[in-house]
Structure 1
Amino acid sequence: MFTLPHSLNGWVQLHPEVIYRRLFQSAWQTLRTFGRDPKRLGGEMGMSAVLHTWGQNLSQHVHLHCLVPGGALGDDGIWREARSHYLFPVRALSRHFRGNLVSALREAATSGELHRVTRPGDVDDQLNTLMATEWVVYSKDCLEHTDTVVRYLARYTRQIAISNARILAVDDHQVTLCYKDYRDRDRRKQLVLAGEEFVRGFLLHVLPKGLMRVRHYGFLANRCRRRRLTEIRRALAVETTPEADTAANDAEPTYTCRHCGQPTLRVIGTLIPLRPKRSRPPSHREQRYRA
């Protein structure tokens, strides 16, 4: 997990599309640089990243959750596994990530992309302060609970900030919600917000139009994933039968029912509305015959 320092929250509100794009790029460049290092893995890595902008109490907490396979595919076609459950040292990752993102933000300011930051000297002061502080990069292995981690991240690919189940009460003046306090041993607590403050906090997490919350990099990128995964399976000596590939490709997509939670919904067809025929004006000859 790559976390953006809270001191940059003001810039996020001014230029969300710039900050979010640079955050994705810096996180991937950090992992890619470490993976390409011959002293570490010496190959191409893959990453799937999901952007989260909120904390449990609707506060602004911008961070990336990243799913990273435990190895890299070398240029020689050999799969190189990580030497431990953790790919790279967290402190080294955080410092490289900090330097990469600060450099990217300075470049963005020089090119005029941060034009809403108008206070004199604010860019240099902010970036110099960021370089003098420790950034948070959290790494955790998930060798035994991969399905749980994927399901956890999948819930946040379409939802924003808070689910309906966490809203306990609503009246004309305030909203009561429950949240988990991670600083107090994950205890469940209640928070009462004025209606205006609840709406303000919720709108902080509405992404700019067209910005992709989920992105894939390396051998998991959309343009090369199928080819690269075939090469990785070949390197790992994992064979897939033609029958299994055909069944996977021909399988009908299933969807989970919102009421019972079972994957009972199945697509059997798509109805496309017919476009109404445009009525054309009568031709000169038709008008003459009608007359």
Structure 2
Amino acid sequence: MVAIQNIFREHAPAYLEKYGDRMPRNHRSVIDAILSCRTPACGMTVYECAGCGKHHHIFRSCGNRHCPACQNQKALDWMDRQLDRQVPGPYFMITFTVPKEIRRFFRSRQSIAYDALFKASSAAMKKLVRDGKFIGGDVPGFFGVLHTWGRTLNYHPHIHYVVAGGAWSKDDNAWHPSRPDFYVPNKALSRICRAKFRDLMRDAGMSRLIDPGIFREGWNVNIQPVGAAEQSIRYLSHYVFKVAISDHRIVDAADGTVTFSYKKPKSRRTRYMELDAQDFMSRFLQHSLPPGFMKVRYYGFMHSCSGVPLENVRASIEMMHAFELVVPETPRDTREKSGPTCPDCGGELKYCYSVLPHQVPEYRGPG
């Protein structure tokens, strides 16, 4: 296994010399973060072992959301929170994929395009949910996660939504369920999303930059019933706080070439791709999100500011089914989260103090 940080350390100088004058500012920030992670540039934390009394000096992580070494615990915490917010009944995974003809536009104007895709797709779902022919409620519950990469680091922006099968109606203060195997019509959802995205681009003055033919073709929308939400939440947790590729997929990095593993959809066979190191860095960095951009968004009764409490939705669904339908119990790791331990004796490490980055070069360590 080769650390992505090592690849960046070796090849970032040449990459910056080649692209530094025209690369996006956030790409430079990601490079700096990855290079500084767990080095003196991020500062240091000093611990004392409660068992043997030895002091340990640990360099701090960068915390950047694009750093492959910093996000694992955040993903697990997010997954647990979402599992706690499930409601009884069926769920759906709904995926909106950007047509390949418009991906270049998305890549060059990410803040506007990603935000518009969220707005258009969520508004399309809300519009169809209100239709009494399908569900007839005005407060659905769902959340979406933006995912921009394919298995070979290619640019493939799409949004996965996890959607509760039904909606709350403010008219009768009751839950209106969907069918277990049908949420809303796929083609209608695709057309409405496409139209709403077109209108948003027109309002933003971007229409002239997009081939109008893209709005006469169908957009790829996939609606898949998934039963309970647990499986979809666990699947998406891998993408909420993780990056396009992690260290365990890097097989080799030598002679200016990076080799990594991947699997095609619906295939168990492991394949390998070789890329020039700078091409690898370019593919990795194209998935860096604009500063401050929210890649996970919540809607309806899943939103923290919803006027319909989640507890009311759960109670309504349970009463509708005479309490025979409840949120399924999901297995959890019940062990308490433990802090760092001493590599010498296994004792618990107690926090002593932190050393700021500008102070670390002056630090000489014990003895």
Do Structure 1 and Structure 2 share a fold, with TM-score over 0.5?
A: yes
- Structure 1's 186 and 18: CA in aligned 2 closer, same or farther, altered over 3 A? farther
1:48-85 Cα shifts (integer Å, max 9, x gaps)? 10000000000000000000000011111111111241
| Coordinate RMSD, CA, aligned | 2.6
Give, in angstroms, the shift of residue 190 of structure 1.
0.7
1:184-227 Cα shifts (integer Å, max 9, x gaps)? 856431100000100000011000110011110111111127x5
* Contact preservation (8 Å) 2:105, 2:210: no
Give, in angstroms, the shift of residue 89 of structure 1.
1.5
Match of residue 232, structure 1, among 313, 327, 337 = 313
Q: Secondary structure at the match of 2:183?
A: coil
Counterpart Cα distance in 2 of 1:7 and 1:30: 21
Instruction: Determine whether 1:212 maps to 2:284.
Output: no
Query: Which of structures 1 and 2 has the bigger CA Rg?
Result: 1
Counterpart Cα distance in 2 of 1:159 and 1:54: 12
Counterpart Cα distance in 2 of 1:187 and 1:89: 34
Instruction: Determine whether 1:65 maps to 2:163.
Output: no
Counterpart Cα distance in 1 of 2:157 and 2:269: 22
Give, in angstroms, the shift of residue 98 of structure 1.
1.1
* Contact preservation (8 Å) 1:26, 1:100: yes
Query: When the two structures are aligned, how many residues end up with a matched partner?
Result: 237
User: Is there any run of 5+ residues in structure 2 with no aligned partner, and where?
Assistant: 1-94, 321-331, 340-349, 355-367
Give, in angstroms, the shift of residue 236 of structure 1.
2.1
- Structure 1's 179 and 237: CA in aligned 2 closer, same or farther, altered over 3 A? closer
* Contact preservation (8 Å) 2:102, 2:214: no
1:15-37 Cα shifts (integer Å, max 9, x gaps)? 11100111111111011001111
1:139-183 Cα shifts (integer Å, max 9, x gaps)? 111115x3222111011111111121111111240100111223x
Equivalent in the alignment of 1:90 = 186
What letter is aligned with 2:219? W
* Contact preservation (8 Å) 1:49, 1:66: yes
Counterpart Cα distance in 2 of 1:272 and 1:93: 56
Alignment of 1:1-291 (within 5 A): 1-43=95-137, 44-75=139-170, 76-109=172-205, 114=206, 123-124=207-208, 126-143=210-227, 146-182=229-265, 185=267, 187-224=269-306, 227-237=308-318, 263-266=335-338
Counterpart Cα distance in 2 of 1:189 and 1:134: 32
What letter is aligned with 1:97? C
* Contact preservation (8 Å) 1:35, 1:42: yes
User: Is there any run of 5+ residues in structure 1 with no aligned partner, and where?
Assistant: 115-122, 240-254, 257-261, 275-291
What letter is aligned with 2:280? F
What letter is aligned with 1:5? P
Counterpart Cα distance in 2 of 1:4 and 1:181: 19
Counterpart Cα distance in 2 of 1:83 and 1:103: 31
Q: Which has the higher contact order (CA 8 A, sep 6+)?
A: 2
1:96-153 Cα shifts (integer Å, max 9, x gaps)? 11111122112212xxxx5xxxxxxxx4473411112221001111115x32221110
Q: Secondary structure at the match of 1:45?
A: strand
* Contact preservation (8 Å) 1:12, 1:19: yes
Counterpart Cα distance in 1 of 2:200 and 2:192: 12
Q: Which has the higher strand share?
A: 2
What letter is aligned with 1:64? I
Equivalent in the alignment of 1:277 = none
Percent of matched pairs sharing the same residue: 30
